[in-house]
Structure 1
Amino acid sequence: MNKYLKPFLVIILFASLVQKLSAQTVTLIPQTATASIRGMSVIDDHVAWISGSKGHVAVTTDGGLIWKWQQVKGYEKADFRDVQAFSATEAVIIASGTPALVLKTTDGGANWTKVFENTDAAYFLDAMDFADSNHGFIMGDPINNKFLLLETTNGGDTWELVSDAPDALPGEAAFAASGTCMRIQQGLILIATGGTASRYIYSPVSKLKWKYIKSPLPQSKSSQGAFGIAKHNNTLIVVGGDYEQPAKQDSVAAIFNGKKFALSTQMPGGFQSSVEHIKGKTFISTGTSGTNMSTDGGNTWKQIDGGSYNVCLKARKGNLVLLAGDKGRIGIFKF
């Protein structure tokens, strides 16, 4: 080899490696707001919404670089645990706690309409997702041994209680940690539970008929279980652990192949509250212990960022991947 050519090849290879590594990192986008963010909805490569504590909601129209923040007037004490957005102007948010609330805006957050309220202290809303622009569900913690399930068929303008909601075991609940304990993907409602029982519960959206499968994630106390769920083709992944022990790596991710669960052979770096499919066999997960990536369908994980986040989601139409967490943390994942 030409002695003058070799150094250039080394430089090119090094630059290629740096580019590859930088394409798998989380970039923190500094914010002035300090809300605890748990709700997220990423529409495309430009528009996304987030929601969180003390009535905070924010929207971006430039892919997450600049966010327009607000505290929803009259709801400054509300904890908005999830958001579903349809455009830069239309979105629905849910508030956990008492009263349980659902608000909707059609003008970018300038005005919000209360579309559901229940003052019963038993109502605790955990997550929301939509099958299309009209048909959506909100899940809450169990009441009388059944998970609370609300349904809309008009884009969130009105909500009705679903009578044939999934059954709950004693001590079983869901976690309003990231809005991803209930997802609608591939025509199915997917639910991940925790507490004294951790299960994967699912049903077709078109006709509710629930099936129940025990998860191998921790399940003996209220802080343990599955916190997030994601499905792509025949691979379904649940993540979680014990939020009281965020550094513990035992049994925090598992894969369901349509017949049975298997724990990941190499776990994420600790407790995880959200998981998302990126492309092919690539998934990412995140939690207060950091963000992890798997390129083999969830079998092995590698930590790519040590920052604390609560939720990670990819655009429904596009490649934008955002993360958000406590103290107003927002990150952009590059791949």
Structure 2
Amino acid sequence: MKTKYQLITSILFSLLFISSIARSQSITLLQQDKPTSIRGLSVVNDQTAWISGSKGYIAITNDGGKTWDWQQIKGYEKAEFRDIEAFSDKKAVIMSSGTPSLVLKTTDGGKTWQEKYRKTDTTYFFDAMDFADEQHGYILGDPIKDKFLLMETNDGGETWTNMSNPPTALPGEAAFAASGTCFRVYNKSLFIVSGGKASRMITAINGKSEYNYVDLPLTHSKPSQGAFSLAIKKNKIIVVGGDYEKDKITDSVATIFTTPPPAFNAPAQGPGGFQSSVEYIKDDTFLSTGTSGTNITLDDGRTWRQIDSTSFNVCSKAKHGKMILFAGNGGKIAILKM
């Protein structure tokens, strides 16, 4: 049995060890000064990653972020490519918000792009895209006639159809096309977080069109407020957001959802301001970022520490590997050193 002195020493050592780990994180800038705001980011592995942004820009790296092959897709110079889903160094799908709403696909590493969907209806506005696997994916859009737009593909993005029974939206409720992470597919279940006059988490278990609606304890009521992103770790969900017009305010910018029983808990110490993207890293570690800077938690969201004050829109970890990248305005791309 440990003595009282040994127990105190052990606790202090653990706290110092955790603190040293948190302070060892650093973000290194890889690219900047490009005329595009990047909000789409998909990291395939430790070598390959894709980004998508405004004014029709996309880029790919195949050497872990050291060099990037940029292009402004011809004929789509006004497109707002708010999200991208990449499957390899050859295959990727991108979506454009606004009018027209677009989906493009490449199978040759971006040398050529094929238009797979176009909608000129001004009520359509795409917010995010995610895939359950390489064939089965979804696109979430802002509400039309009190129903969120939800589209589905079963052939790898070749064709897209509107789901017949999408989730219901409250008056003034919408999703944010800030980072492509307000919508996630996890174990074939769908997860949406919203903002505006209402802020909720909407779930459809196993892809069935039977939705569960839960109010989120985050700042909301204005078009600039609410939940912007979620990340999932088994029975734990971290949701982040806030007010992008007042991005230094730290109140109600993160919450932790756990089951069972289902419950929301506020962090003891939250992120240092508005966050537009959150990502699960490993073990008890999550990472979040936004215009107010980047934050990390090593204890499943209970306490957060800001590790960088640079403005980014999105962060993402490799699907098959450890590489973690960030992207933001001005063509800014960065990597996390751990």
283, 290, 293: which one aligns with 2:293: 290
What secondary structure does 1:277 align onto?
strand
Letter paired with 2:288: S
CA shift in 2, pair 1:334/1:185, >3 Å: farther
Report Cα offsets for 1:251-287 as digits up to 9, x if no partner. 0000001312122121111000000011111000000
Partner of 1:330: 333
* Shift of residue 167, structure 1, vs aligned partner: 0.7
* Shift of residue 108, structure 1, vs aligned partner: 1.2
Partner of 1:107: 108
| Percent of residue pairs identical | 56
In structure 2, how many angstroms separate the alpha carbons of the residues matched to 1:99 and 1:277?
Answer: 33
In structure 1, how many angstroms separate the alpha carbons of the residues matched to 2:69 and 2:117?
Answer: 25
Partner of 2:161: 160
1:260 aligns with 2:273: no
Unaligned runs of 5+ in 2: 1-16
Partner of 1:311: 314
Letter paired with 2:28: T
In structure 2, how many angstroms separate the alpha carbons of the residues matched to 1:206 and 1:21?
Answer: 37
* Shift of residue 137, structure 1, vs aligned partner: 0.1
In structure 1, how many angstroms separate the alpha carbons of the residues matched to 2:20 and 2:222?
Answer: 43
8 Å CA contact 2:39–2:180 kept in 1: the answer is: yes
Letter paired with 1:87: S
In structure 1, how many angstroms separate the alpha carbons of the residues matched to 2:23 and 2:29?
Answer: 13
1:119 aligns with 2:95: no
Report Cα offsets for 1:133-157 as digits up to 9, x if no partner. 0000000000011100010000000
Q: TM-score if structure 2 supplies the norm length?
A: 0.92
In structure 1, how many angstroms separate the alpha carbons of the residues matched to 2:104 and 2:92?
Answer: 8
Partner of 2:98: 97
Partner of 2:13: none
Partner of 1:3: none
In structure 2, how many angstroms separate the alpha carbons of the residues matched to 1:265 and 1:60?
Answer: 38
8 Å CA contact 1:22–1:334 kept in 2: the answer is: no
In structure 1, how many angstroms separate the alpha carbons of the residues matched to 2:319 and 2:168?
Answer: 30
Report Cα offsets for 1:27-74 as digits up to 9, x if no partner. 111335231000011111111111001000001111112111000100
In structure 2, how many angstroms separate the alpha carbons of the residues matched to 1:22 and 1:315?
Answer: 22
Partner of 2:10: none
How much is the aligned-residue C-alpha RMSD, in angstroms? 1.6
In structure 2, how many angstroms separate the alpha carbons of the residues matched to 1:34 and 1:75?
Answer: 15
Give 1:81-230 correspondences, 5 Å limit.
Answer: 81-230=82-231
In structure 2, how many angstroms separate the alpha carbons of the residues matched to 1:194 and 1:184?
Answer: 19
1:321 aligns with 2:324: yes
CA shift in 2, pair 1:244/1:203, >3 Å: same
* Shift of residue 235, structure 1, vs aligned partner: 1.0
What secondary structure does 1:54 align onto?
helix
Partner of 2:274: 271
Report Cα offsets for 1:315-334 as digits up to 9, x if no partner. 11111111100111111112
Report Cα offsets for 1:4-49 as digits up to 9, x if no partner. xxxxxxxxxxxx9999567411111133523100001111111111
8 Å CA contact 2:18–2:298 kept in 1: the answer is: no
Letter paired with 1:223: S
Q: TM-score if structure 1 supplies the norm length?
A: 0.93
8 Å CA contact 1:180–1:227 kept in 2: the answer is: yes
Aligned positions, number:
320
What secondary structure does 2:330 align onto?
helix
In structure 1, how many angstroms separate the alpha carbons of the residues matched to 2:33 and 2:289?
Answer: 22
Unaligned runs of 5+ in 1: 1-15
Partner of 1:239: 240
* Shift of residue 109, structure 1, vs aligned partner: 1.2
